[in-house]
Amino acid sequence: MNGLDRSILTLVTFIPAAGGVLLFFLPRRDREIRWFAFLVSLIAFFASLHLPVHFHRAEAGFQFETNSRWIPTPNIHYHVGIDGISLWLVVLTTFLTPLCVLISWRSIHDRVKEFFVLLLVLETGLIGVFVSLDLFLFYFFWEATLIPMALLIGVYGHGRRVYAAVKFFLYTMVASVFMLAAILWLYAKTGSFDFVTIQSAIRSGGVENFVSAAQWLFLGFFIAFAVKVPLFPFHTWLPDAHVEAPTAGSVLLAGVLLKMGTYGMLRFNLGLFPKQSHANAGWIAILALIGIVYGALVAMVQPNMKKLIAYSSISHLGFVVLGIFSFTQSGLNGAMFVMLAHGISTGGLFMLAGILYERRHTYEISEFGGLATPMPTYSTFFLFIVLASVGLPLLNGFIGEFLVLSGAFQAKAWWGVVGATGVIWSGCYLLWMYQRVFFGQVKHEENHSLRDLNVREQFALWPAAVMALVMGVAPLLWLNAIDPAVHNVLAAMPQMIAKVVSQ
Amino acid sequence: MAWQTIVETLPPGGDYVRILPELVLSIFGMIIMLLDPVMDERSSQRKLGGIALIGALAGLAATLYQSQQQFWGPAFWEMVRVDAFSVFFHFVVAAVTILVILSSYEYMEVQQIRAGEYYGLLLFGAVGMMLMSSAVELVLIFIALEISSISTYILAGFRRRSAISSEASVKYFLLGSFATAFFLYGVALMFGATGSTSISKIGEALGQYANGGGPLLAYIGVAFMFVGLGFKVAAAPFHIWTPDVYEGAPSPVVGFMSTAPKAAVFAVLVRVLFQGQAPGRVWLIWVAAALSMTIGNLAALVQDNVKRLLAYSSIAHAGYLLIAFAVWPQSDPKNGISAIMFYTAAYAAMNVGAFAVVGHLAGAGERYVTLEDYSGLAKRSPGLAAVFTIFLLSLIGIPAFGGFFAKFYVFAEAARENLIGLLVIGVINSAIASYYYLRIIVVMYMREPREEEPVAAVPPGLGVALGLSLAVTIFLGVFPRPVLDYLTRSVEQWH
């Protein structure tokens, strides 16, 4: 392993924050600040491309590892590394951030510098969550994402932004302290925060009192992740946060932040507590199914475009949780793929909604209608992303949902049946929304004169649209890295694999 | 001949080095008291403040001098003991005193308070606190406790024109006297139970009992001493005085008395509970910690006065800190002790800083202390709002600030001792707490200012004080390693 391979994760993680700190000292010239932020996020993106290019796809273990001691007592290490699960989430983060910068170019005009500083610091926090292999480091980054996100919502949001920011902060903060308690318990028993060490200690049965505590530890981690996902019934913070957040905040919130929860379930709940995961899978899957159907039904009746997309996220993330707790190879692969696809398509939808908001300052669906006439390019992009989100074959949404549902069928047939209705629902609410916004006559005078997309906005949307297509056509590019890692997770549950095979 | 017997009965010269910081501070305190009446009243404030600052710095230098290993050991017939542990607390007390003097400078002028006794009392208070942290004999501890308490009683009432300040002083004095009486009673009972007031001898006597038990008299003695000490650190259920006193007392004084005496009393608690092998300590601490955290945080949720809010928050923080005292008799308390020391230092930095900001914003007569008055502070004074935000985030326990590691070590200690109940209460509380700190930040950043007039510029003294406490808060949050190394080493030598 050469030097770059060892330090690349550190670079990718801290380039944005370093850029943010530099930005802080730049003079307040908004134009230069925007360009600088864009440049930093691009550098981070291109640096992160090193990861998939040099990633050994057939291997299941952690790669690009760095492990050095940070604090001696308690035994905290700066231990980072990625496997097929976290690889794509890192790239997703670095991919979406430049688009966020582009989409915020004009819509943020007050306190511009602080906005981009927060955005870049948030990016570092998000990447840090995905690459940390030390539980302490993980918790550190996990909490560190809270502040920039809450400030982005609370300072730059719309209407009831303060309420939404505080609600977001409190929900996730309260939930994550239970994870802290569980982490501390593990540390007290194993003397280490290292994920790999703890995992092997648990597997070899070397942790005292583990059997009696495991269910509580599982729940401690699970509650933190379930609120972040958000799994029904912990979802109530999400619509508020999304509706009030600025566009870039929504994109990162839906695109990446929610995936912290599902990533955590995959990595920590399944990785550290396979038995308990299996024992609890029944009710978790039911909650996920409720989330799929409930999220979709509520989305259907939303008069507000952004709220509709927010509830559709709850529905889509339900698929991810269902896939994870189906404990099948295809279910887990699908869950990973839905995470990525949802990041692209919902990120795209939020950008599109934000573009409309910049022009009309409203998200109310009833304010629009017939927009296809004044904004042809915009409506084409919108349709494309909507179709990707609905799960049209050859676009990215389809692959993931298909894999999840086939995994769910293998686990329990009725899970698959109920889950599959979610695909129909998503067609209903998204296409109906599309119809109400873009087709028919232009009902409001001011909508006649709406500008179509400018070059900058197209620059922000093209990558998302292209990715939606490429991921749909050539999913193997992603899946062949995901598959071994997922296999590795499942390998810890031999009794379950046997069960699935015997069915 | 007679002269020679006197000289022979005097303690050896090295003993004086072991109380050097206390001596230095006492001398400077007396100089200030003597100079005050002969100086012109209008110009005395700055000069006396300067002398106090020099005195506190000299106290710090004396502490550094004392920290050389050759001076470690007992002195004055085993009444005081200098080791890395007590030097650490000397250092914290001296540093807090310096910060408070710096932030008092401008404050005194704005509030039009006569300065003379103020600075003198600060130094005398520091003397008591330092002596508390190095005393290993219960009667001396009592005396030191009284020195420190009486200074703070008076300091609390220093805004003489304000009724609530006088109320604070009287309340603090009356309740505080009861509390110290309880402490003294506890000392007497301890003496009855073990035949000694020296902590190490008490420890030897009680160490003979299996599993940290002891005679009934010792149980009662420990409980009574804890009443007195718990009062001083504002631990529930002995916390009732805190919000009223903190609200009434001058803000820099609150910064002082919420950190330095607490640090000293925690040092005493470490000695009494661990070295003294106090029986029944785990459950005593368990209950006090759980109550303090819960009562403090729940009450803080509904406060609209920032000083009262921070008062309840300090009750809660005393609760978090107490968690680290809950160490089973059969296990080694060393990790707990270093967690306590780290917490004390981190809390001192962020709380002194927070109250310095509050004192500056309060304006003449401390008029602006409600949450409303902080609305839109980010627009009126971005720098001050940012600094205050960092202190509040640190108090919440957000990573990258000292408060995070402080809480973290304490919670880790509870997990190690298998006190899962206490751990869960602790983490739930720290989540609740984030709400009310956040409220202040939200008001500062996300509300429109009520009045457009900019906040008075930060005077140099306050600026230095804020910069120093900010630096310590961030340093402890990013590089806790050197401090921890020192603490671990100092605990190694502790016995």
Q: Give contacts of A151 with chain B, Cβ < 8 Å.
A: 445
Whether residue B251 contacts residue B358, with contact meaning beta carbons closer than 8 Å, is answered with yes
Q: Which of B398, B420, B442 sits opposite A143 (nearest CB)?
A: B398
Contact B481 A165 (CB under 8 A): no
Q: Give contacts of A72 with chain B, Cβ < 8 Å.
A: 481, 484-485
Mean pLDDT, range B269-289, rounded to an integer: 89
Q: Give contacts of A165 with chain B, Cβ < 8 Å.
A: 442, 446
Q: Give contacts of B412 with chain A, Cβ < 8 Å.
A: 74, 184, 187-188
| Cα atoms in the 13 Å half-sphere on the side-chain side of A69 | 8
CA distance A420 to A496: 23
The DSSP secondary structure of A249-283, one letter per residue, reads: HHHHIIIIIHHHHHHHIIIIIHHH-HHHHHHHHHH
Contact A181 B424 (CB under 8 A): yes
Q: Give contacts of A185 with chain B, Cβ < 8 Å.
A: 415, 420, 423
- The per-residue pLDDT for A501 is 42
Neighbours of B485 (CB within 10 A): 14
CA distance A34 to A101: 7
CA distance B369 to B365: 10
Instruction: Scan residues 345-404 of B and list those with Cβ closer than 8 Å to A.
Output: 393, 398-400
Whether residue A342 contacts residue A468, with contact meaning beta carbons closer than 8 Å, is answered with no
pLDDT top residue among A26 and B310: B310
Q: Which residue of A has its CA nearest to B446?
A: A155
- The per-residue pLDDT for A503 is 39
Q: Give contacts of A219 with chain B, Cβ < 8 Å.
A: none
CA distance A93 to A124: 9
- The per-residue pLDDT for B263 is 94
How far off is chain B from A11, nearest CA to CA, in Å? 19
**Residue at token pair 């002269």:** B3
Structural domains counted in chain B: 1
Greatest CA span in chain B, whole angstroms?
Answer: 80
CA distance B153 to B57: 24
Mutate to test the interface with A, among B320, B341, B423, B479 (most CBs of A within 10 A): B423
Residue B176 above 60 pLDDT?
yes
- The per-residue pLDDT for A502 is 38
Q: Which residue of A has its CA nearest to B431?
A: A174
Q: Where are the alpha helices (DSSP H) in A134-209?
A: 135-144, 146-156, 161-190, 195-203
Contact A173 B411 (CB under 8 A): no
Which residues are within 8 A (CB) of B399 and not within 5 positions of it... i.e. 6 or more apart? Answer: A139, A140, A143, A144, B477
Whether the upstream peptide bond of residue A376 has omega within 30° of 0, thus cis, is no
Residue B424 above 80 pLDDT?
yes
**At A79, which helix (H) or strand (E)?**
strand A76-82
Residue B381 above 60 pLDDT?
yes
Which residues are within 8 A (CB) of A426 and not within 5 positions of it... i.e. 6 or more apart? Answer: A296, A312, A315, A316, A389, A390, A391
How far off is chain A from B351, nearest CA to CA, in Å? 21
Mutate to test the interface with A, among B328, B374, B379, B434 (most CBs of A within 10 A): B434
Beta-strand ranges (E) seen in B127-238 are none
- The per-residue pLDDT for B1 is 55
Query: Given CB atoms, is B301 within the 8 Å cutoff of chain A?
Result: no
Q: Which of A139, A154, A188 sits opposite B416 (nearest CB)?
A: A188
Contact A180 B427 (CB under 8 A): yes
Give the bridge partners for A68, in sequence order: A78
How far off is chain A from B317, nearest CA to CA, in Å? 17
Contact A71 B485 (CB under 8 A): no
Q: Give contacts of A178 with chain B, Cβ < 8 Å.
A: 424, 427
- The per-residue pLDDT for B495 is 56
DSSP state of B370: B
Q: Which residue of A has its CA nearest to B410?
A: A184
- The per-residue pLDDT for B73 is 84
Residue of A96, A97, A46 lying closest to A464 (CA atoms): A96
- The per-residue pLDDT for B494 is 63
Residue B398 above 50 pLDDT?
yes
Per-residue pLDDT of chain A (503 residues; tens, 9 = 90+): 577 888 888 989 999 999 998 888 888 788 888 999 999 999 999 999 988 888 888 887 888 888 888 777 678 888 999 988 899 999 999 999 999 998 888 888 878 888 899 999 999 999 999 999 999 899 989 988 988 898 888 888 888 888 888 888 888 888 888 898 899 888 888 888 888 888 888 888 877 778 888 888 999 999 999 999 888 888 888 888 888 888 888 899 888 999 999 999 999 998 888 888 888 889 999 999 999 999 999 999 999 899 999 999 999 999 999 999 988 889 999 999 999 999 999 999 999 999 888 888 888 888 888 888 888 899 999 999 999 998 888 888 888 899 999 999 988 889 989 998 988 888 889 999 999 888 888 888 888 888 888 888 888 899 999 999 999 888 888 888 888 888 888 887 765 444 444 33
Q: Which residue of B has its CA nearest to A213?
A: B420
Q: Give contacts of A113 with chain B, Cβ < 8 Å.
A: none
- The per-residue pLDDT for A495 is 53
Whether residue A68 contacts residue A78, with contact meaning beta carbons closer than 8 Å, is answered with yes
The percent of residues above 90 in pLDDT, for chain B, comes to: 51
Q: Give contacts of A188 with chain B, Cβ < 8 Å.
A: 412, 415-416, 418
The tens digit of pLDDT for each residue in B47-70 reads 888 999 999 999 999 999 988 888
Instruction: Scan residues 414-433 of B and list those with Cβ closer than 8 Å to A.
Output: 414-416, 418, 420, 423-424, 427-428, 430-432
B271 within some domain: yes
Whether residue A276 contacts residue A214, with contact meaning beta carbons closer than 8 Å, is answered with yes
Instruction: Using an 8 Å CB-CB cutoff, list residues of chain A that contact chain B.
Output: 70-74, 139-140, 143-144, 146-147, 151, 154-155, 161-162, 165-166, 169-170, 173-174, 177-178, 180-181, 184-185, 187-188
Contact A180 B416 (CB under 8 A): no
Q: Which residue of A has its CA nearest to B404?
A: A140
Q: Which residue of A has its CA nearest to B440?
A: A166
The packing angle between helices A494-502 and A476-491, to 10°, is: 110
DSSP state of B458: P
Residue B29 above 70 pLDDT?
yes
- The per-residue pLDDT for B143 is 94
Residue B375 above 80 pLDDT?
yes
Residue B376 above 50 pLDDT?
yes
Q: Which of B416, B427, B442 sits opposite A178 (nearest CB)?
A: B427
The percent of residues above 70 in pLDDT, for chain B, comes to: 99
Domain span holding position B355 = 13-492
- The per-residue pLDDT for A209 is 78
Q: Euclidean distance between the first and final Cα of chain A, in Å?
A: 43
Whether residue B282 contacts residue B213, with contact meaning beta carbons closer than 8 Å, is answered with no
B8 within some domain: no
Q: Give contacts of B398 with chain A, Cβ < 8 Å.
A: 143-144, 146-147
CA distance B403 to B392: 9
Provide the residue type at A7 as one letter. Answer: S
Contact B412 A74 (CB under 8 A): yes
CA distance A334 to A317: 12
Give the bridge partners for A79, in sequence order: A67
Q: Which residue of A has its CA nearest to B376?
A: A155
Query: Given CB atoms, is B177 within the 8 Å cutoff of chain A?
Result: no
CA distance B319 to B323: 7
How far off is chain A from B308, nearest CA to CA, in Å? 22
Whether residue B406 contacts residue B346, with contact meaning beta carbons closer than 8 Å, is answered with yes
Residue of A145, A346, A321 lying closest to A230 (CA atoms): A321
pLDDT top residue among B314 and B483: B314
Query: Given CB atoms, is B488 within the 8 Å cutoff of chain A?
Result: yes
Which residues are within 8 A (CB) of A124 and not within 5 positions of it... i.e. 6 or more apart? Answer: A13, A14, A16, A17, A20
Contact B414 A184 (CB under 8 A): yes
Return the ∠ at Cα A388 (arms to A386 and A393), rounded to 5°.
130
Neighbours of B284 (CB within 10 A): 20
How far off is chain A from B380, nearest CA to CA, in Å? 14
Among the ranges given (B128-132, B303-307, B485-489), the one the predictor scored with the smallest mean pLDDT: B485-489
Residue of B338, B467, B67 lying closest to A71 (CA atoms): B338
Query: Given CB atoms, is B478 within the 8 Å cutoff of chain A?
Result: no
Mutate to test the interface with A, among B407, B436, B437, B438 (most CBs of A within 10 A): B438
Query: Given CB atoms, is B442 within the 8 Å cutoff of chain A?
Result: yes
DSSP state of B273: I
